[in-house]
Amino acid sequence: MIADYGYDYLSVILIVSFGCLFQMIFERLLQATGRTFYSMITQGTGAIINIILDPILIFGLFGAPKLGIVGAAVATVAGQIVAAVMAVIFNIKVNKEIHITFKGFRPSGKRICNILFIGIPSVIMMAIGSVMTFCMNKILVVFTSTAVAVFGVYFKLQSFAFMPIFGMNSGMVPIIAFNYGAKREDRVIQTLKLAVMYAEIIMILFMIAVQIFPVPMLSIFSASSDMIRMGVPALRTISISFIFAGICIICSSFFQALGSSIYSMLVSFVRQIIFLVPCAYIFSKTGNVNLVWWAWPIAELASVALSVFFFIRVRKKKFAFMEQ
């Protein structure tokens, strides 16, 4: 079908990749100057265009050609291109702190290294998450496929709690970075305290909701009786880790804001690879799947301790700059 319409997989992948790249670059410029509202508009517009065009181009609605899978690809490309163009326009029109020009541009090895030093740990953190998910599926499938399904439901439910915190992080990072550069230690600490407080409120409220309403939450995913029987204790046990997760997420962004993303990577590695997976594997050997879920609170508790240790280290090292 793709060949019939003159498309090929490689072309679609390249176009989507370039669209994502331009959209991401210019959205990050908006976020870096604290204009997250405009980056929200670009992301939302791209997603809405994709959602609207998908059924129209896939099924040939309203007189459009019935393109099938090609229609989904075209809808994705259209959404990415519109979002990327909007991001460029917003940077030109409203982002007065940044003036984009290639006049006198020369690649700088030092700056490239600085970018990679901050960016590579983020890439590794994503890879660590994939490795953890693979390992946990292997551990849980030994029990039943229902255990794997419960694990998948947990991942979907946790996004409702984590997304507001990730959004808050997008606003927190430039504030901390600006004030660090301005040598305003008081504002850096105040921002961090407020972020931790709000993150903990969100996580504790979500934990309480999970403890009280685990069955309705599982029912959203058309859970069977076996899944509810296994999922209720699983969600209640894993949700205990939310108390610690809020602090870890904020600390991770705090390290990145100060250019110490290596610490974020180490915390993520220790939490998921050193504690979570081994603990889950050891508990699985007991034959009791309910014990496996305790690996999450244990791993989060360890990551909190490591985050606090790195925070003390960063504060002594980085904050000395603000005292000069």
| Residue 278 banded pLDDT, cuts 50, 70, 90 | very high
Q: Would you state the pLDDT for residue 59?
A: 87
Other residues' Cβ atoms within 10 Å of the Cβ of residue 63: 6
Closest of 155, 304, 130 to residue 234, by C-alpha: 155
Report, as an integer, the average pLDDT of 225-237: 92
The 10s digit of each residue's pLDDT in 100-156 is 777 777 877 887 887 777 777 777 877 888 899 999 999 999 998 899 999 988 988
How far is 217 from 75, CA to CA, in rounded Å?
A: 32
pLDDT, residue 9, reads 58
Taking only the tens place, the pLDDT of each residue in 176-204 is: 888 888 888 889 899 999 999 999 999 99
pLDDT over 50 at 258, yes or no: yes
Distance between CA 82 and CA 59 in Å, rounded?
22
The confidence score (pLDDT) of residue 80 equals: 82
Instruction: Look up residue 288 and give its two tokens.
Output: 């009791």
C-alpha 240/C-alpha 216 separation (Å) is: 18
| pLDDT above 70 (res 10) | no
Q: Give the C-alpha separation, 222 to 143, whole Å.
A: 21
Q: How confident is the model at residue 322 (pLDDT cuts 50, 70, 90)?
A: low
Of residues 60 and 238, the one with the higher pLDDT is 238
Question: CA-to-CA distance for 28 and 310, rounded, in angstroms?
Answer: 26
For position 16, what pLDDT does the model report? Answer: 64
- For residues 39 and 14, the answer to whether their CB atoms sit within 8 Å is no
Model confidence pLDDT, tens digit, residues 37-71: 888 888 888 889 888 988 888 888 888 888 887 78
pLDDT exceeds cutoff 80 at 26: yes
Burial class (CB in 10 A: 0-12, 13-18, 19+), 189: middle
Look at the pTM and tell me if it is higher than 0.85. Answer: no
**Cβ(250)–Cβ(165) under 8 Å?**
yes
Q: What is the mean pLDDT of residues 267-282?
A: 92
The reported pLDDT for the residue numbered 94 is 85
Mean predicted confidence (pLDDT) in 257-276: 88
CA distances from 199 to 118, 173, 203, 258, 323 (A): 24, 14, 6, 20, 29
pLDDT digits (tens, 9 = 90+) for 209-224: 999 999 999 888 877 8
pLDDT greater than 80 at residue 288: yes
Q: Supply φ then ψ for residue 272, to 5 degrees.
A: -90, -35
